[in-house]
């Protein structure tokens, strides 16, 4: 139907390696990009800065975790700890007077160094053992943050983030902060899109799928797993720093605690391992659903005239939200991204349906 490759002809390898070969996909991407640019003029600043901005930053973070878990196939349960390293290093650097551009870079590099050092040790184990080792990293980081006032910011363990600025220009307006998040998310997305058509992406998938076959092609799996951890930690670090400087405005240990690590992993899995669109959808579902379900339940209770206790009202949405994740994963284990891909694949071959599996 409107998804189709009819009339698309490639006469060079450059045009054959386009990111979006299907015209309909390309149009959709341009549409959403323009929508993203125009968002401050379309959405009230309350929604812009309390929903869309964190969603975009978390999406960037989820894409980073997807690099390790979706592409390289390594379970990572300490991702929030890596984000914390970036956030704290960047805020400390900014407090020290370093411009934010470099502070973000320092945050990313600090995360990258600590993440890879840890991975260097952890990657000697595989599968569930690796998952547990990364979980250990999370606990080490939690402990460091709660036990070292110099890092965490005094006895209250809260660290005020200096005013965000780029190119010497203070950014305080809602729209300005939104554009910072939007820009970062777009950058990370472009990187991940390019990963699908370069040797690095292929090598990572090879390591994930069959490491012995990767080895015989000259792919050093230990090295490429390490590269995946380093790159993903960089993305995590900068995302953590942007999250603190444009959304939370102060850094506290509980923002990067173990439950956050689990939450990011949930975003990756619900969205779809190795899916870029899925990372957007997964982050949206996990971030926004609790609020939406909550409102639906209180609305429903009001309509039916039920007098639900405040505690029941607090707990039912949690259960519903959990059930929702289970249902999504039962319908499509490969996540929300795959749900979209199924529709797209069907439309691609319409009016036939031989691709339906």
Partner 1 sequence: MNGPVTSGSGQVPVLECIGIERRFGGLVAVSGVDLRLEKGEIFGLVGPNGSGKTTLTNAITGFYPPQKGKILLGGRDITGTAPHKVAGMGVARTFQNLALFNGMSVLDNILLGRHIHMNPGVIRTALYWWLARPQEIANREVVEEVIDFLQLESIRHEMVDGIPIGLKKRVELARALVAEPHLLILDEPMAGMNQEEKEYMARFILDARAERGVSVLLIEHHMDVIIGICDRMLALNYGEMIASGIPREVIKNPRVIEAYIGGAHAE
Footprint of partner 1 (CB under 8 A): 13-14, 17, 191, 194-195, 197-203, 205-206, 209-210, 212-221, 227, 230-231
Q: Please say which residue, 210 or 315, places its beta carbon nearer to partner 1.
A: 210
Cα 263 to Cα 42, 71, 114, 171, 258, distances in angstroms: 29, 19, 21, 29, 9
Nearer to partner 1, 65 or 205 (CB): 205
Coil, helix or strand at residue 170? strand
Distant-in-sequence, close-in-space partners of 39: CB < 8 Å, separation ≥ 6: 48, 52, 178, 182
3-class DSSP state for residue 38? helix
Q: Give the containing element (helix H, strand E) for 169.
A: strand 169-170
Least gap, CB of 251 to partner 1 (angstroms)? 27
CB of 112 or CB of 255, closer to partner 1: 112
Dihedral of alpha carbons 144, 147, 149, 150, sign:
negative
CB of 291 to partner 1, least distance (A): 35
**3/248 with CB nearer partner 1:** 3
The DSSP secondary structure of 238-299, one letter per residue, reads HHHHHHIIIIISEE-GGGGSHHHHHHHHHHHHHH-TT-HHHHHHHHHHHHHHHHHHHHHHHH
Query: Rounded to the nearest whole angstrom, what is the least distance from the CB of residue 197 to partner 1 in the complex?
Result: 7
Q: Of 68 and 152, which has the nearer Cβ to partner 1?
A: 68
Minimal distance, residue 281 CB to partner 1, in Å: 20
Residue closer to partner 1 (CB basis): 170 or 209: 209
The answer to whether 4 and 348 have CB atoms below 8 angstroms apart is: yes
Q: How far is the CB of 219 from partner 1 (least distance, A)?
A: 6
Nearer to partner 1, 83 or 230 (CB): 230
Residue 50 CB, shortest distance to partner 1, in Å, is 31
Q: Which is nearer to partner 1, 226 or 267 (CB)?
A: 226
User: Which residue reads 């998804």 in tokens?
Assistant: 3
- Kindly give, in sequence order, each residue whose CB lies less than 8 Å from that of residue 29, ignoring residues fewer than 6 positions away: 20
- Compute the distance between CA of residue 138 and CA of residue 165 in angstroms, rounded to an integer: 30
- Distance from C-alpha of 251 to C-alpha of 164, rounded to nearest angstrom: 14
The least distance separating partner 1 from the CB of residue 244, rounded to whole angstroms, comes to: 24
CA separation for the pair 202, 239 (Å, rounded): 25
CB 209 → partner 1: shortest distance, Å?
5
């Amino acid at each position: 139907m409107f998804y189709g490759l009819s009339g698309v002809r490639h006469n060079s390898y450059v045009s054959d390696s386009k990111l979006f070969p299907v015209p309909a996909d390309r149009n959709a991407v341009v549409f959403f990009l323009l929508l993203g640019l125009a968002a401050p003029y379309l959405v009230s600043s309350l929604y812009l800065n309390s929903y869309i901005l964190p969603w975009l930053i978390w999406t960037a973070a989820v894409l980073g975790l997807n690099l390790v878990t979706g592409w390289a196939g390594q379970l990572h349960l300490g991702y929030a700890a890596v984000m914390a390293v970036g956030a704290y290093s960047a805020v400390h650097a900014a407090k020290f007077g370093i411009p934010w551009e470099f502070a973000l870079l320092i945050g990313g590099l600090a995360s990258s160094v600590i993440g890879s050092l840890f991975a260097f040790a952890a990657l000697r184990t595989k599968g569930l053992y690796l998952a547990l080792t990364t979980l250990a990293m999370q606990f080490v980081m939690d402990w460091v943050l709660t036990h070292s006032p110099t890092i965490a910011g005094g006895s209250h363990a809260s660290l005020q983030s200096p005013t965000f600025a780029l190119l010497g220009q203070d950014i305080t307006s809602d729209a300005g902060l939104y554009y910072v998040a939007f820009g970062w998310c777009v950058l990370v997305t472009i990187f991940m899109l390019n990963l699908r058509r370069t040797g690095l992406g292929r090598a990572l998938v090879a390591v994930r799928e069959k490491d012995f076959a990767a080895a015989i092609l000259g792919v050093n799996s230990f090295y490429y797993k390490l590269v995946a951890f380093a790159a993903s930690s960089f993305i995590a670090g900068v995302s953590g720093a942007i999250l603190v400087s444009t959304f939370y405005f102060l850094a506290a240990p509980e923002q990067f605690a173990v439950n956050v690590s689990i939450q990011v992993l949930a975003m990756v899995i619900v969205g779809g391992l190795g899916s870029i669109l899925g990372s957007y959808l997964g982050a949206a579902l996990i971030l926004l659903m609790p609020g939406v379900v909550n409102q639906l339940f209180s609305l429903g209770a009001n309509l039916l005239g039920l007098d639900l206790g405040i505690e029941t009202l607090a707990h039912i949405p949690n259960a519903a939200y959990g059930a929702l994740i289970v249902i999504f994963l039962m319908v499509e284990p490969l996540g929300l991204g795959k749900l979209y891909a199924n529709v797209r694949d069907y439309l691609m071959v319409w009016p036939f349906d031989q691709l339906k599996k």
